Amino acid sequence: MTSAAPAAVLFDMDGTLVDTEPYWMQAETELVTEHGGTWTHDDALVLVGSGLWESAKVFQQHGVDLDADTIVVALTRRVQEQLESQGVPWRPGAKELLLDIRERGVKTALVTMSIRDMAEQIVAQIPFPAFDVLVTGDEVARPKPYADPYLDAARELGVLPQDCVAIEDSMNGLASAVAAGTIAIGVPHMIPLPASDEHTLWPTLEGVSFADLAELFEERAA
């Protein structure tokens, strides 16, 4: 039976918890340019929320003559270099909301299509124990928009997907969260998100508390 409050809160990472999308776009532009191709802002927007190995196929179509694994490693390494040199850019309100959730003893998972090494690099910068579980793009059977990442997170946390709130910034991410059966919240960042009965849109996480999540959960569950 669904409880009156979420048993767990599941966070996307890039664009939701941290504003790393500009880092990814810079890495993508450099990679394609190095191989004689052209990469535009619109090209980059199409890949927001996509799995890295799926994205690698797109880079190959733009002239990057490397295998998928090499592309993923090259992109991730460049983003990690930017994280080291420029720091972790948090999305407004995200860290504060995460802390409020943790202080209430609620389970959390990070559900990202980035690889585990990068996810761990970012999580290490959070000044409190932030996540019970990390689900990463190099470990899932199928990436977002498939349900697998969020189903994996719920299973590892020992909760039902329908007892979870998931927070996302992309259509692929929202589709994954909805397909898994979670109460999905979209917080638009780089790309607009359409209104839908299947998910809830919030303009920002700034000022949002666990009480707000619990209120939405109760409304949507009913």
192: CATH: 3.40.50.1000
Within this chain, do residues 151 and 178 fall inside the same structural domain, yes or no? yes
Supply the pLDDT for residue 147: 98
Inter-CA distances, 100 with 45, 78, 159, 201, Å: 31, 32, 20, 20
- Say how many C-beta atoms besides its own lie within 10 A of residue 85's C-beta: 7
Within this chain, do residues 97 and 73 fall inside the same structural domain, yes or no? no
Task: Please write the tens of the pLDDT for every residue from 60-94.
Answer: 999 999 999 999 999 999 999 999 999 899 999 99
> Of 86, 106, 123, which one is at a domain's C-terminal end?
86
Inter-CA distances, 178 with 35, 69, 198, Å: 37, 29, 7
> Of 86, 104, 131, which one is at a domain's C-terminal end?
86
Residue-range definition of the domain harbouring residue 125: 8-19+89-221
- Domain membership flag for residue 105: yes
Inter-CA distances, 153 with 55, 72, 207, 208, Å: 22, 23, 26, 23
Q: Phi and psi for 64 in degrees, rounded to 5?
A: -80, 105
49: CATH: 1.10.150.240
The answer to whether residues 137 and 117 touch, using CB atoms and an 8 Å cutoff, is: no
Q: What total of structural domains would you count in the chain?
A: 2
Of residues 51 and 97, more confidently modeled: 97
SS3 209: coil
Structure tokens at 166: 């998931």
Supply the pLDDT for residue 1: 38
- Domain membership flag for residue 1: no
Within this chain, do residues 72 and 107 fall inside the same structural domain, yes or no? no
Assign 8 a pLDDT band (cuts: 50, 70, 90).
very high
The answer to whether residues 54 and 143 touch, using CB atoms and an 8 Å cutoff, is: yes
Within this chain, do residues 117 and 103 fall inside the same structural domain, yes or no? yes
3-state helix, strand, coil in the chain (%, to 5): 45, 10, 40
Residue length of the chain: 222
Within this chain, do residues 120 and 189 fall inside the same structural domain, yes or no? yes
Within this chain, do residues 95 and 192 fall inside the same structural domain, yes or no? yes
Query: What residue has token string 């196929």?
Result: 57
Within this chain, do residues 117 and 209 fall inside the same structural domain, yes or no? yes
CA–CA separation, 222 and 213 (whole Å): 14
Within this chain, do residues 207 and 140 fall inside the same structural domain, yes or no? yes
Supply the pLDDT for residue 222: 79
- Domain membership flag for residue 2: no
